[in-house]
Amino acid sequence: MKKLFGLIPLAAVMMTMTTPKAAADAPGMSWTWREVRISHRQCLDRADSAIRDAGFNDSVETVGTSPDVSTFGVNDDYRAAIRCISDKGVVLFLVTGNGSDSGKLQRRLVNNFLR
């Protein structure tokens, strides 16, 4: 459970990234995590590709300080984040937005990352 400690601040950031319209529509949130045994650089590269391949092409940005770094992306109605916690061997996947597709989009992120 200690591995997931970084999710709380990430979820708080993601929830503040929603637009006023999204907040009015009661945004959904879907998240999961996976254990990985890859380098920090590989994790960041996969995160960037996974977010872009899932259609979150607006405002793609990687922020943070190693070993806890997150890559964010935006599409019309959703925000996505993949957080690489390399020293713990954990990757977190999070999607928020106004609509019922957050779960589907989160699974797409995971699949894109793991392929």
Tens of pLDDT along 70-91?
Answer: 999 999 899 999 999 988 999 9
How do strand 90-97 and strand 28-35 relate by DSSP bridges? antiparallel
Which ranges of the chain does DSSP label H, i.e. alpha helix? 7-16, 20-24, 40-53, 102-114
pLDDT of residue 92: 97
Question: Which tokens sit at 11?
Answer: 């979820």
pLDDT tens string 3-54: 555 555 555 555 555 445 544 556 789 999 999 999 999 999 999 999 999 9
Question: Which tokens sit at 87?
Answer: 């020293």
The structure tokens 């020293």 sit at 87
Domain ranges, ordered by start, for the chain:
2-114
Helix, strand or coil for residue 110?
A: helix
The topology (CATH level 3) of 2-114 is TATA-Binding Protein (3.30.310)
**Cβ contact 87:7 at 8 Å:** no
